[in-house]
C-alpha cells in the first residue's frame, strides 16, 4: 500500500533558511519515490519572509507544497498543529526551518519509520537525537530528562531534537486535543508516545549552529536557554498535576 508523508515546517523570520529548506525538499519531492506533502506555516513573520514565501510558492507544485500564513504570532506548538490540520498524509511529521538539522533527515526518519511500522495503527514514533552537542548543552538536556523522569516517571531523551514522525492515528487519537501552544509541543508529543506504549526509534542527527536568522526558542544564548528550561519545568509540573488529578 502506498503511503503519503506530510511534513509540517514552522517558520518565523527565516527568510534565508526557508528558501534553502524548500530547495532541498523540492529536490526530494522530484527525485525520490517518497510521496511527500510539505506544509510550511509562517507564524506572522515581521521581516520579508511572508512576501518571499508567497513568491516562491507560485513555482512549487500546489498538490505537494502548501503554505499557511498567520497574521499574528500564534506560537510554535499552535502553528505546527495548525499545519498538521491541513495534512492529508498517512504519516505525519515536523521539523524546523532553521537548518540546524538537515531537512533531508526526514527521509532517513521515514525509512526508519517504514522499516518498523506495520499497518496504520503501528505504535512507532521516530525522532532525532542530536550528536556533536557541547558538553554543557548535553548536561542541561540531561537535567531536563532527569526532572521529567522524576515528575512524570517517563524517560524522555533529547526532547527538542528534530524531526518528529508518527502515524495519523497518533495525531488523531492523542496529539490533536490538549496540546501546548508553545515550544513544549515536542515534550508533549514524546510524553504521549511513551505513556501510550509507542516504541521510540531514534535517528542520529548532526546538530549545526544557526547561520541565518535568530533563535526564538532556547538556542540563542544562556538567557534564552534558562528561560526555556524554566518554561519546560513549568510545563512538566503542569502535566504532572494533570496526570495526578
Residues that bind Mg ion (CB under 5 A): 98, 100, 219
- Grid coordinates representing 110? 521515514
Shortest distance (Å) from residue 110 CB to ligand GDP = 19
Q: Residue ranges of the alpha helices (H) in 117-181?
A: 135-152, 168-170
Q: Which position's Cβ is nearest Mg ion?
A: 98
Shortest distance (Å) from residue 10 CB to ligand GDP = 3
Shortest distance (Å) from residue 100 CB to Mg ion = 5
Strand ranges inside the chain, DSSP E = 4-11, 35-42, 65-69, 91-94, 124-131, 164-167, 199-206
Selected binder of ligand GDP within 4, 56, 73, 169 (CB under 6 A): 73
Q: Which position's Cβ is nearest ligand GDP?
A: 43
86 binds, among ligand GDP, Mg ion, none (CB under 5 to 8 A by kind): none
Shortest distance (Å) from residue 183 CB to ligand GDP = 7
| Site size for ligand GDP (CB under 6 A) | 21
194 contributes a contact to ligand GDP by CB under 6 A: no
218 contributes a contact to ligand GDP by CB under 6 A: yes
Shortest distance (Å) from residue 215 CB to Mg ion = 5
| φ, ψ of residue 27 in degrees (nearest 5) | -60, -50
**CA atoms of 24 and 242, how far apart (whole Å):** 41
**CA atoms of 43 and 38, how far apart (whole Å):** 16
97 contributes a contact to ligand GDP by CB under 6 A: yes
Phi/psi zone of residue 221: left (φ > 0), alpha (ψ -120 to 50 degrees), beta? left
181 contributes a contact to ligand GDP by CB under 6 A: no
- Grid coordinates representing 144? 531536563
The answer to whether the CB of 66 falls within 8 A of the CB of 38 is yes
Site of interaction with ligand GDP (CB under 6 A): 10-12, 14, 41-43, 73, 75-76, 79, 96-98, 100, 215-220
Amino acid at each position: 500500500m502506498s503511503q503519503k508523508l506530510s511534513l509540517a515546517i514552522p517558520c518565523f523570520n527565516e527568510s534565508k533558511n526557508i528558501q534553502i529548506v524548500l530547495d532541498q525538499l523540492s529536490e526530494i519531492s522530484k527525485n525520490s519515490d517518497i510521496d511527500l506533502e510539505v506544509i510550511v506555516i509562517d507564524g506572522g513573520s515581521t521581516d520579508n519572509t511572508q512576501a518571499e514565501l508567497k513568491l516562491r510558492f507560485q513555482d512549487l507544485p500546489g498538490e505537494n507544497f502548501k503554505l499557511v500564513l498567520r497574521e499574528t504570532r500564534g506560537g510554535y506548538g499552535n502553528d505546527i498543529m495548525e499545519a498538521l490540520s491541513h495534512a492529508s498524509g498517512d504519516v505525519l511529521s515536523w521539523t524546523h526551518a532553521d537548518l540546524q538539522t538537515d531537512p533531508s533527515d526526514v527521509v532517513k526518519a521515514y525509512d526508519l519509520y517504514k522499516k518498523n511500522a506495520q499497518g496504520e495503527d503501528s505504535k512507532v514514533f521516530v525522532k532525532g537525537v542530536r550528536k556533536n552537542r557541547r558538553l554543557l548543552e548535553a548536561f542541561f538536556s540531561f537535567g531536563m530528562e532527569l526532572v521529567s523522569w522524576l515528575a512524570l516517571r517517563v524517560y524522555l531523551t533529547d526532547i527538542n531534537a528534530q524531526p518528529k514522525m508518527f502515524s495519523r492515528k497518533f495525531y488523531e487519537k492523542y496529539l490533536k486535543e490538549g496540546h501546548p501552544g508553545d515550544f513544549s509541543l515536542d515534550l508533549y508529543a514524546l510524553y504521549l508516545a511513551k505513556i501510550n506504549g509507542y516504541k521510540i526509534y531514534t535517528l542520529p542527527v548532526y546538530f549545526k549552529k544557526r547561520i541565518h536568522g535568530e533563535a526564538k526558542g532556547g538556542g540563542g544564548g544562556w538567557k534564552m536557554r534558562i528561560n526555556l528550561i524554566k518554561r519546560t519545568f513549568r510545563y512538566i509540573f503542569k502535566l504532572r498535576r494533570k496526570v495526578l488529578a
